[in-house]
């Protein structure tokens, strides 16, 4: 019997971006509690590139052949007999540990939510991974109204969402980015500070100017590269300094290391915020499935704003490119 096949981006061995090849492989079999989703868009994040290169995420055994991708949007094409709440044809977004850079993905129904009609397909495909990390960080650091928060790596996938969630919580946000992303940070609503030599002094001056105190209330390090060393000079309480990027340094300095806690409830809240215009989902660049190696090369640079996305299939309901109205407006500014 010939099994049905699908196209997927597969790393047959650990290595650089060029180990990724688009292959025809067997369609995944669906378990009783799962839904089968025809994938529309898949977000990319540094963890995809790191796992492809051989990194083992905590609690997960990654072995080639590896299909990267931890988040997706798409359409339900089959449901397991115990997978309640979804019907064939439902527009959804969701998450799983790898396996998403393919035409189809199976996933427990508990890791999928309905896509709000107002949320564009591409924005839905890149929301889960960075969004849920940013949401977890906001909760862990306990950001509240009136506080001043510093975000290292504020322009990236996680930083972009964390800045906006902190602003929605009523905080003043000071973010670091490279020279090219200073206007972007201001557009998001943050006070923009350039990283690099003299960064600590610039951050100190920004805290003095924008808060009633000499120190910030909390810091998120979404950049790594030793950013926590500046953070501990700017915030006295190390339980309000968290890194998502540099576990050994967080440990050494007695700061928190924050891991994303993913759930459908968290994702639903983010999707509603984005669909209702409270959260901009910035698409850095779009790639076709065949361009997956180039997409990995880009995320490995460690620079850029928002998220890169792979387009696997464009559902008919898609009306326009672009994430949200705000995103299109921003692109229109031509900085
Ligand atoms: N713990 C977890 O659960 C978890 C979850 C998701 C991600 N992460 C990790 O968190 C980090 C950020 O993820 P991401 O998806 O946001 O990555 P990303 O999209 O690649 O963004 C990284 C950002 O860091 C900035 N950056 C580069 N060098 C910097 C420096 N020296 N100082 C300050 N900022 C600098 C870049 O800004 P410019 O472009 O302006 O240079 C870029 O916007 C990665 O290390 C990732 O592996 C951890």
Interhelix angle 227-234/199-210, nearest 10 degrees: 40
Residue with tokens 């902190």: 166
* Sequence-ordered list of residues with C-beta below 8 angstroms from that of 329, at least 6 positions apart, any chain: none
Compute the average pLDDT of residues 51-65. 95
From ligand 1's centre to the CA of 196, what distance in Å? Answer: 15
Pairwise CA distance, residues 69 & 54, whole Å: 15
E strand or H helix at 3: none
Q: Is 68 in the pocket of ligand 1 (CB under 6 A)?
A: no
Strand partners of residue 121: none
| Average pLDDT score over the chain | 94
Instruction: Sketch the domain layout of the chain as residue ranges.
Output: 5-127+281-333, 133-257
pTM of the predicted structure, to 2 decimals? 0.94
Indicate the CATH number of 133-257 among 3.30.70.60, 3.40.50.920, 3.40.50.720, 3.30.70.250. Answer: 3.40.50.720
Q: Is 322 in the pocket of ligand 1 (CB under 6 A)?
A: no
Q: Is the pLDDT of residue 333 over 60?
A: no
Q: Is 182 in the pocket of ligand 1 (CB under 6 A)?
A: no
Q: Is the pLDDT of residue 69 over 90?
A: yes
CATH superfamily of 5-127+281-333: Medium-chain alcohol dehydrogenases, catalytic domain (3.90.180.10)
* Sequence-ordered list of residues with C-beta below 8 angstroms from that of 206, at least 6 positions apart, any chain: 174, 191, 193
How high is the pLDDT of residue 316? 78
User: pLDDT, tens digit, for every residue of 214-269?
Assistant: 999 999 999 999 999 999 999 999 999 999 999 999 999 999 999 999 999 999 99
User: pLDDT, tens digit, for every residue of 70-97?
Assistant: 999 999 999 999 999 999 999 999 999 9
Judge whether 308 and 41 are in contact, CB under 8 Å.
Answer: no
Q: Is 219 in the pocket of ligand 1 (CB under 6 A)?
A: no
- Better-predicted residue by pLDDT, 136 or 327: 136
| Closest C-alpha among 90, 115, 118, 74 to residue 275 | 118
Nearest atom in ligand 1 to the alpha carbon of residue 179 is 40
Pocket test of ligand 1: the residue of 302, 305, 306 to mutate, having most ligand atoms within 8 Å of its CB, is 302
Ligand 1 atom 12 nearest Cα? 222
Pocket test of ligand 1: the residue of 43, 202, 222, 227 to mutate, having most ligand atoms within 8 Å of its CB, is 222
Q: Is 285 in the pocket of ligand 1 (CB under 6 A)?
A: no
Q: How many of the other CB atoms lie within 10 Å of CB of 79?
A: 20
Pocket test of ligand 1: the residue of 44, 46, 126, 247 to mutate, having most ligand atoms within 8 Å of its CB, is 46
Ligand 1 atom 24 nearest Cα? 153
Q: How far is CA 314 from CA 84, 87, 149, 228, in A?
A: 26, 20, 38, 41
From ligand 1's centre to the CA of 32, what distance in Å? Answer: 37
How high is the pLDDT of residue 317? 60
Phi, psi of 207 (to 5 degrees): -65, -45
3-state SS class at 24: strand
User: pLDDT, tens digit, for every residue of 97-121?
Assistant: 999 999 999 999 999 999 999 999 9
| Closest C-alpha among 117, 130, 93 to residue 308 | 130
From ligand 1's centre to the CA of 165, what distance in Å? Answer: 17
How high is the pLDDT of residue 327? 38
Pairwise CA distance, residues 92 & 125, whole Å: 9
Ligand 1 atom 34 nearest Cα? 153
User: pLDDT, tens digit, for every residue of 168-188?
Assistant: 999 999 999 999 999 999 999
Compute the average pLDDT of residues 137-166. 98
Pairwise CA distance, residues 280 & 300, whole Å: 23
Q: Please indicate whether the domains covering 5-127+281-333 and 133-257 agree at the CATH topology level.
A: no
Q: Is the pLDDT of residue 323 over 80?
A: no
Ligand 1 atom 48 nearest Cα? 244
Q: How far is CA 266 from CA 41, 128, 134, 163, in A?
A: 20, 9, 10, 17
Give CA angle at 179 (224, 243), nearest 5°.
Answer: 15
């Amino acid at each position: 019997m010939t099994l049905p096949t699908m196209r997927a981006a597969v790393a047959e061995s650990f290595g650089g971006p060029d180990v990724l090849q688009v292959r025809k492989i067997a369609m995944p079999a669906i378990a009783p509690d799962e839904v089968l989703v025809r994938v529309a868009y898949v977000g990319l994040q540094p963890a995809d590139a790191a796992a492809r290169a051989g990194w083992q995420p905590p609690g997960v055994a990654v072995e080639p052949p590896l299909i990267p991708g931890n988040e997706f949007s798409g359409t339900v094409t089959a449901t397991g007999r115990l997978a309640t709440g979804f019907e064939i044809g439902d527009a959804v977004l969701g998450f799983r540990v790898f396996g998403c850079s393919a035409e189809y993905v199976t996933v427990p129904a508990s890791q999928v939510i309905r896509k709000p009609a107002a949320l564009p397909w591409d924005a839905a495909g890149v929301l889960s991974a960075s969004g849920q990390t940013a949401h977890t960080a906001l909760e862990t650091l306990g950001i509240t109204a009136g506080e001043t928060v510093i975000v290292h790596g504020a322009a990236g996938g996680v930083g972009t969402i964390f800045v906006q969630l902190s602003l929605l919580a009523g905080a003043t946000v000071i973010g670091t980015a490279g020279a090219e992303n200073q206007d972007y940070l201001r557009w998001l609503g943050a006070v923009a500070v350039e990283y690099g030599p003299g960064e600590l002094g610039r951050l100190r001056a920004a805290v003095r100017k924008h808060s009633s105190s000499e120190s910030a209330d909390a810091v998120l390090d979404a950049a790594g590269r030793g950013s926590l060393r500046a953070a501990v000079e700017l915030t006295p309480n190390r339980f309000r300094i968290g890194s998502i990027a540099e576990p050994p340094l967080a440990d050494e300095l007695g700061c928190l290391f924050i891991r994303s806690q993913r759930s459908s409830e968290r994702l639903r809240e983010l999707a509603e915020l984005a669909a209702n215009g409270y959260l901009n989902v910035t698409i850095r660049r779009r790639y076709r499935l065949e361009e997956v190696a180039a997409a990995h090369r880009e995320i490995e640079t460690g620079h850029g704003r928002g998220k890169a996305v792979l387009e696997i299939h464009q559902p008919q309901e898609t009306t326009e490119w672009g994430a949200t109205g705000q995103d299109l407006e921003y692109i229109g500014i031509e900085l």
